[in-house]
Structure 1
C-alpha cells in the first residue's frame, strides 16, 4: 500500500512538472546556467596581471629597473602612468587600477649615497583578495630589488659573493603549501560556490512543491493520493527533485574534479553519499518550512533568509574559527557548512574517512530533522483547512 501511494504521488508530481515551465527552469536551466557562469568566472584559476599604475618622478635607470621587476611579477601589470595623485586616485575609484606605485624624485641619488630609498604603494584594500596579491607581489619585487642593490654594493667593496649572500639573507624561509598548492580559486572558491547556489535552488523547490499544494487548496487531493500517509506523499512529491538535483550534484563533482581517478574510491563514495544526503536534507527542510508556515510567500522568505547568505558562514572565504559565537552557531545549522567541510577534507586534503565522520553524521542528523519535521508539520496543517489558500 505504501509503495502504491508513493507511485501515485510520484505520477502526480511528474504530471505537474511536465506542465509547469517555472518548476522546470528551477530543476534544469537555473542549475545549469549558474554552474556554467561560476565556471566561466573562475576559469582562469589564479589571479594574474592586476592592472596598477606607476608614477615615476625620478626617471632614472634604477627606477626603470625597479618598474620592470614589478611589472614582471605574475600578479600585477603596470597598465598606466597617471600624471599625478589625483588622476591615480580617480583611476582606483573607477577600478581601472587596483593600485599605484610611486617612485619619488631623487630615488637613484639617495641609493647611490647609501641612503634608504622609499617606494610608495597605494592599493584599494576594499577588494581584499586583489589587495593581498598586489601587496605581496610588489613587496617581493621591491625586496628583490633592494637585495640586489646591497649585493652589488658590497661586492664592489671587495666582499665575496657567497659571504654577501649569506649576510643579506641569514635565514631562509621555505614555504610549503600542503593543499591547493597552486592557489587555484576555481578549486577552493568556485568549488564551494556551486553547492552554495544549488542549496538555494534545492530548498526553494522543496518549499514550492509543498507550499503550492497549500496555496491552491489541493492539499486534500494530494494526501488522498497517498491514502493519508504524509511520509509517502512527501517522498513521491520530492523524489523527482531529489533525482534531478542529485544528478546536478554528481555532475559538479565530476566536472570540478573530486570524483577524478586520483581520489581513492572511499573518498569518492563518501563524497557522493554526502551530496545525496545534503540534497535530501535541503528538500525536506524546505518542505518543513512550507508546511509549518502554510504560506508559500512566507516560506520562500524564510528559505531566502536561511540559504542566501549561507556561503558567508561556511568558512571558505572568511575563516570559521575567527567568527563570533553567534556566527558559528548559525553556521552549525547550515547543511552547506558540513558539506563544504566534507568536500575539503576528502577532495583537497585527502583526509582519512574518520576525519569526515562528524560532517557526515551532522548531515544525516539534518536529514532526520527535515524528514520528521516535514511529516509532523504536514500532518498539522492538513487538519487546519482555515490556513489553506494563503497567498
Structure 2
C-alpha cells in the first residue's frame, strides 16, 4: 500500500471517530484557552489583610499606610483585637494579619528594638508570599527611613547616610521571568505535558478501537518486518503532522496572545518540539498493543498525568529527586522534552546548551521506533 495513503488513512480514522476526535482535537483546544486564562494576571495582587493597631500612634498609622500603598496587599479590615482578625481570616474574609503592638512608637523613639506581628494564610504558597513580602517590605522600608533620619541627625550627609544604611545594595534581575509570574512559569510546561498525555491516550484509544473491531491491518501494512516499519513510520508522520499544528497553536499563537516570554530561535524551537513529539508518538505506539478496548487507555493513562508533572520538575525541582528516580524518569519523553524545549524557548538556549536533552530524545526516538516496530510486527503476525 502507498505510504502516503497510510498517512491519510490514519488521519481519516483518527478524525472520523467521535471519541478520538474529541480527545485529540477538542480537549487540546479547550485546554488551550481555559487553562492559561486564570493565570493571565501572572501574580496575585491586593491580597486582603486585616490590621490590628494597638499603638494608635502616628508611626503605626504610617506603617499601615505604607503596607496598603503597594500592589501586594490591601488593608481590607481594621479590628480592635487579634482574636477578631483571626476570626476574619478563618472566615475567609482576609488572608493575612498585621499586628502593631502597644508601645511600638515609644520603643522606636527610644532607639529600642520594636517588632510587628505578621500572620498569613499558608494554604497557598503564592498568597503567603504576597502577604509576607508586602507587609515585611513595608516594615523594612519604615525601619530604613527611621535609621536614615538618625544617621543624618548624627551629622552624616544624605548620601553617606544611605550608604551607611545599605553599604552593599543588591539589585535583583529576573532574567527569564521578569514579572515573577506563575503563568509564565507553569503554562508552557503544562502545554507540553498536555500534548504528551493526549497523544498517549488518543493513540491508545485508536488502537483499542481497532483491536475491538478485530482489525489486524491497523498494525501492519504488509507481510514481514517491512510492513511493520511502513506502518509505524506512517503513523508517526500522521500524528506528527496533526500535533505539529497543535504545538504551533500552543507555542506560536497562544504564547504571543498571553505575552509569555519567548527568546528562542524558531528553527531550534521547532526541532526540539519535533524530537519531543516523535518520541511521544513512538512511545504511544509501543504502548498501544496493551489496550484491547477503546476505553482502556483512558483508565490506565489518566492517572499518569500527576507523576509526569512531578517528574518533569514543574512542582518539585528534579535536582531534589533521588538519583534512581531521576534516571527512571528519563524513559518518559516529557522529562527531557520539557526541560530542553523550555530552555530553548524561554531562556534562549542553543541546541548545544541542551545537548544532553537532545541526546536523550534522539535515543528515546530510536529505542521506541524499534520497540513499536517489534510490537506491530508481532501483532501483525497474530
**TM-score interval, smaller chain:** 0.7 to 0.9
Q: Of residues 197, 208, 218 in structure 2, which corresponds to 1:222?
A: 218
Q: TM-score, normalised by structure 1?
A: 0.85
Determine if the alignment matches structure 1 residue 200 to structure 2 residue 197: yes
Determine if the alignment matches structure 1 residue 313 to structure 2 residue 311: yes
1:107 & 1:334 partners in 2: Cα distance? 57
Pairwise mapping of residues 63-102 of structure 1 onto structure 2 (< 5 A)?
63-82=60-79, 84-93=81-90, 95-102=92-99
Partner of 1:347: 345
Query: Displacement of 1:125 after TM fit?
Result: 2.8
Q: Of residues 339, 350, 365 in structure 1, which corresponds to 2:363?
A: 365
Change (3 A) 1:370 1:87: farther
Secondary structure at the counterpart of residue 147 of structure 2: helix
**Contact 2:184 2:260 (8 Å CA) reproduced:** no
Q: Give the aligned length.
A: 378
Pairwise mapping of residues 240-279 of structure 1 onto structure 2 (< 5 A)?
240-255=238-253, 256-257=255-256, 263=263, 267-279=265-277
Q: Of residues 272, 285, 288 in structure 2, which corresponds to 1:287?
A: 285
Change (3 A) 1:145 1:300: same
The superposition leaves residues 304-329 of structure 1 with CA deviations (integer Å, 9 ceiling, x where unpaired) of: 34444312222244322122224423
Determine if the alignment matches structure 1 residue 52 to structure 2 residue 49: yes
1:173 & 1:260 partners in 2: Cα distance? 27
Change (3 A) 1:341 1:141: same
Query: Displacement of 1:248 after TM fit?
Result: 0.9
2:79 & 2:35 partners in 1: Cα distance? 34
Change (3 A) 1:96 1:212: farther
Q: Which moved more, 1:283-292 or 1:152-161?
A: 152-161
Query: Displacement of 1:352 after TM fit?
Result: 3.3
2:150 & 2:260 partners in 1: Cα distance? 53
1:177 & 1:151 partners in 2: Cα distance? 29
**Contact 1:7 1:236 (8 Å CA) reproduced:** yes
Change (3 A) 1:165 1:223: closer
Pairwise mapping of residues 133-212 of structure 1 onto structure 2 (< 5 A)?
133-212=130-209
The superposition leaves residues 165-214 of structure 1 with CA deviations (integer Å, 9 ceiling, x where unpaired) of: 33222332232333323323332221212112221111111222222212
2:220 & 2:152 partners in 1: Cα distance? 92
Structure 1 regions of 5+ residues with no counterpart?
385-391
The superposition leaves residues 269-327 of structure 1 with CA deviations (integer Å, 9 ceiling, x where unpaired) of: 12111112222221221221121454555544443344443122222443221222244
**Contact 2:82 2:99 (8 Å CA) reproduced:** no
Q: Which moved more, 1:81-90 or 1:46-55?
A: 81-90
**Contact 1:206 1:287 (8 Å CA) reproduced:** yes
